[in-house]
A and B are shown apart, each in its own frame.
Chain A
Amino acid sequence: SQKIEQNSEALNIQEGKTATLTCNYTNYSPAYLQWYRQDPGRGPVFLLLIRENEKEKRKERLKVTFDTTLKQSLFHITASQPADSATYLCALDNTNQAGTALIFGKGTTLSVSS
């Protein structure tokens, strides 16, 4: 069956450290993989997208990798800050058409302590 798994429900780190979140999937062949941030009481907000032929994507303190052989994406936040505390969701885009519905993982809740 098809599955998306985010390695842990919760991750606690110290301010200034790098947070690494994992997303694994089975029985999908996504053309794109996306990461979203969700704060309590809010809808998810798009962060980064990476294509199947890209190994790595960066945006400011964020870095995403995508290994289609391992069927895994890693999401890194460097120099983490308490404001980075939120739930991070990975999402698969399994189609060739832009703007279609995504399939989401359960998310990992990151807590950054000062």
Chain B
Amino acid sequence: SAVISQKPSRDICQRGTSLTIQCQVDSQVTMMFWYRQQPGQSLTLIATANQGSEATYESGFVIDKFPISRPNLTFSTLTVSNMSPEDSSIYLCSVGTGRRELFFGSGTQLSVL
């Protein structure tokens, strides 16, 4: 298993600003994923972040809007840039450990005014 610490747990931000979300894992993992969960919607994959390579973004998500860093095997950040109210959502960090199931952080509840 893996224990994931995600910070901040929630934030209220002004339009046009940026927020960086941190994800710390208690063990080394190869695969890290960032998901978004909008109200009443399913978890949507934003990108896959592997250490030592550029993140791979899903359709509809771009690096300029959601830059990701993965400096080592236990840490990643997701930045939500130039925020608008449409970015209000829960952002979740997730890891794969070589088994099929994923482990998730508690999420970051973001509200953009």
Interface set, chain A 62-98, CB cutoff 8 A to B: 89, 91, 93, 98
Q: Are B41 and A100 in contact (CB under 8 A)?
A: no
| Chain A 94-114 near chain B by CB (<8 Å), digits 1 or 0 | 000011111111110000000
B60 within 8 A of A: no
B106 on the A face (CB < 8 A): yes
Instruction: Looking at the assembled complex, report how far the CB atom of A107 sits from the nearest CB atom of chain B, in whole angstroms.
Output: 7
Assess A43 versus B106: contact at CB under 8 Å? Given A49-B100, A49-B101, A100-B31: yes
Q: Return B62 CB to nearest CB of chain A, in Å.
A: 18
- Of B13-21, B80-88, B90-98, the stretch lying at the interface with chain A is B90-98
A26-61 Cβ-contact flags toward B at 8 Å (1 or 0): 000000101000000111111001000000000000
Interface size class of A (residues with CB under 8 A): 20 to 34
Q: Tell me if B48 is interfacial: C-beta within 8 Å of chain A.
A: yes
Count how many chain B residues have C-beta atoms less than 8 Å from C-beta atoms of the other chain.
28
Query: CB of A4 within 8 A of chain B?
Result: yes
- What is the CB-to-nearest-CB distance from A56 to chain B, in angstroms, rounded to a whole number? 18
Which residues of chain A have C-beta atoms less than 8 A from B48's C-beta? 100-101
CA distance A46 to B98 in the complex (A): 14
What is the CA–CA distance of A105 and B43 in the complex, to the nearest angstrom? 7
* Contact (Cβ within 8 A) B31 A99: yes
The binding surface of chain A is classed by DSSP as loop
Check B42–A104 contact: CB distance below 8 A. Answer: yes
B97 to chain A, nearest CB (A): 6
CB interface residues, B 44-78, toward A, < 8 Å: 45, 48
Query: Please, which residues of chain A bring their CB within 8 A of the CB of B96?
Result: 98-101
The distance in angstroms between the C-alpha atoms of A93 and B99, with both chains bound, is 12
**Contact across chains for A43 and B101 when beta carbons are under 8 A apart:** no
By beta carbon, the residue of chain A nearest B6 is A43
Q: Looking at the assembled complex, report how far the CB atom of A103 sits from the nearest CB atom of chain B, in whole angstroms.
A: 8
Chain B interface residues (CB < 8 Å from chain A): 4, 6, 9, 30-31, 33, 35, 40-43, 45, 48, 92, 94, 96-107, 109
**Smallest CB-CB A-B distances: 3 pairs:** A99-B96, A43-B104, A46-B101
